[in-house]
Amino acid sequence: MKSFLKVVLGTMVGIMLLMFLFFMIGIGSITKMSQSNKVTVKSNSVLKTSLGMLIGERGQENPFEELDLPVNTGPVGKVGLDNIKRAFAQAKDDGSIKGIYLDISGISAGWAQTEEIRNALIDFKESGKFIIAYGEGITQKAYYLASVADNIYLNPSGILELKGFGAELSFYKNALEKLEIEPVIFYAGKFKSATEPFRLTSMSEPNRQQVKQFLGDFYDNYLEKVALQRGKSEENLHDIIDNLKIRNAADAKTHGMVDDVIYEDEVYNLIRQNIGLDDEEKINFVSLQKYIKTLSNSSGLLKDKIAVVYADGDIVDGKGTRDNIGSERFKNILQKVRRDDKVKALVMRVNSPGGSALASDIIWNEIEQFKEKGIPVVTSMSNYAASGGYFISCNSDKIFAERTTLTGSIGVFGMLFDLDEFYNNKLGITFDNVKTTQYSDFPSSMLLSGDLTETESQIIQNQIDQIYLQFKQRVADGRGLTMEQVEEIAQGRVWTGKQAMEQGLVDELGNLEDAIAHAAQLAGIEDYRESSYPRQKDPIQQFMEKLAGQEDELVSTYISNSQFSKIYQQYKSIEDLIANGNKAQMKMPFSIEIK
């Protein structure tokens, strides 16, 4: 029997080793294949652009993209906003590219990122080359992008979504009451609505007011820019949207929002006419993803550098992951950059709704030391630079934002959860403790054996108030404002980029390239190279780390990119609040979804 078990065990181990060996050989083959599979752009080509894929601030190569594997929707393989803009800029002067075909059924970018892509397409049009857009169903955000095209076409059975803007928030107060879980909430700023889902069943009036105002600015921007590109008045466009006059494909054509209602093969015939092909000739399409591979990654031999640090995600304590802003990791990155004598300026690219107050202050301090050393600091804001995201931006020499950036939210909150009755009444679990001092179990993110005393509550509220005061002082010092002026625009209130500029929180509307150019101007340099941080790992290394359990992201990222993404993101936000409830948080209003 023992011999049999040894044979079985040995066979299993051997099979596992062979599988691992074949896997490693396969990985090596894929790596070699990806390195040797260079993209050649044929003459008379058309850049086929679909933006429904996952779009991040920076591109991440996916060596498995040609294979039908679940990893294709995982954390590697993200198309970067940086590469999309570079691709359009290169295509503008590329003699082999005759135009762009926009497959515009959807777009996964945020509103500020969409604005940057749209501006890059407008710049491409200066070449005189065509842009043709087509969709089987066109969302409101996708149409904003498509509006710059020379012609927009819609499938005869498709729909164009033009309905105006709305924001949807989820509230959990009633659910918590049913579970007998009581949130204990502390906050500073009447607009600081991140905790409202736990203490209310609908929006407070201050929150409703701020949401209405920033949505109004989004809508005004939409009307202005779409009307301009489609040759309509803003009043006419508003009438079409306000009365929901686009209810089917025919309506879209009748009201001049699309040029025709046709099928994709008919669109291809129009493209053939544009590039001088016969009806049966094949169009040389090159996908955006493949065209990006033709971009030069050479940083050149220029000595002077401008460091571009991408701060993308929630701000968290400790090392964090590559999908958030860990204070320890970014402190080390910024220190390394600051010690590099070749770095003449720092550009912070911030795309963050905020997070830990402590982590935000640690990063703020590292940025402050650049200024003390005489190195100019410029911030470029993406979709969000709110609360903690604004905290790490406010001491920059100059701040750029897109009009549809959400920023501000200068406020602080903390939250505990009283789970005593939940455990006792729902699960039959009780707790008791022994303490050497009256505060030995204080604070905790969960209250399990008794309520907070009045003194303990006051201690926490005082801490929140003190951090809020520090936040306002940081903004006042960084922006050259008085504390009274900051108080007027703080209170946790969220602003669009345009509104923030009017209030003195932002200096200028512009993109990352504008920020880099201004940083060079402040540094007094003309010839320089850009150096981006955090450094990106080899994609094969990233994948192997995930398989080895060094990063617990593969499953969570797969879910977050699936049809369960909305529920999953809400779950993660709640989990984060519970885990960090006893820590002061600088975070923008909870789970705002702009439609």
Cα distances (Å, whole numbers) of residue 98 to 40, 196, 275, 352: 15, 52, 7, 37
Domain 45-163+244-292 shares a fold with domain 305-411+453-548: yes
- In this prediction, residue 577 has a pLDDT band, given cuts at 50, 70 and 90, of low
* Over residues 378-382, mean pLDDT: 98
Find the range with the poorest average confidence among 53-57, 130-134, 324-328: 53-57
Residues sharing a CB contact under 8 Å with residue 28, sequence separation 6 or more, in sequence order: none
Mean pLDDT of the chain: 86
Q: Is pLDDT of 75 > 50? A: no
| Count of C-beta atoms within a 10 Å radius of residue 593 | 12
What is the CATH number that goes with domain 45-163+244-292? Answer: 3.90.226.10
The whole-angstrom separation of Cα 30 and Cα 74 is 17
* Over residues 482-504, mean pLDDT: 96
Residues sharing a CB contact under 8 Å with residue 341, sequence separation 6 or more, in sequence order: none
210-229 residue pLDDT tens: 999 999 999 999 999 999 99
* 191 close to 171: Cβ distance less than 8 angstroms: no
Find the range with the poorest average confidence among 14-23, 406-415, 443-452, 470-479: 14-23
Q: Is pLDDT of 184 > 50? A: yes
* Over residues 165-182, mean pLDDT: 91
Complete edge-to-edge strand list for the sheet that includes strand 260-261:
260-261, 151-154, 130-135, 97-107, 45-51, 284-287
Q: What is the pTM of this model?
A: 0.86
Among candidates 309, 269, 575, which has minimal Cα distance to 446?
A: 575
Task: Give the fold, CATH level 3, of 305-411+453-548.
Answer: 2-enoyl-CoA Hydratase; Chain A, domain 1 (3.90.226)
227-276 residue pLDDT tens: 999 999 999 999 999 999 999 999 999 999 999 999 999 999 999 999 99
Pairing status of strand 585-587 against strand 354-356: antiparallel
Structure tokens at 373: 């050393």
Active site residues: 192, 387
pLDDT recorded at residue 537: 64
Angle, helices 327-339/357-372, rounded to nearest 10 degrees:
10
pLDDT recorded at residue 15: 56
Which has the higher per-residue pLDDT, 586 or 338?
338
* Over residues 289-295, mean pLDDT: 93
Among candidates 401, 451, 380, which has minimal Cα distance to 421?
A: 451
- The domain limits of the chain are 45-163+244-292, 305-411+453-548
- In this prediction, residue 589 has a pLDDT band, given cuts at 50, 70 and 90, of low
Phi, psi for residue 429 in degrees, rounded to 5:
-110, 130
Q: Of 5-19, 63-77, 209-223, where does the model show the most confidence?
A: 209-223
DSSP string, 145-183: HHTTSSEEEE-TT--B------EE----HHHHHHTT-EE
Which has the higher per-residue pLDDT, 105 or 593?
105
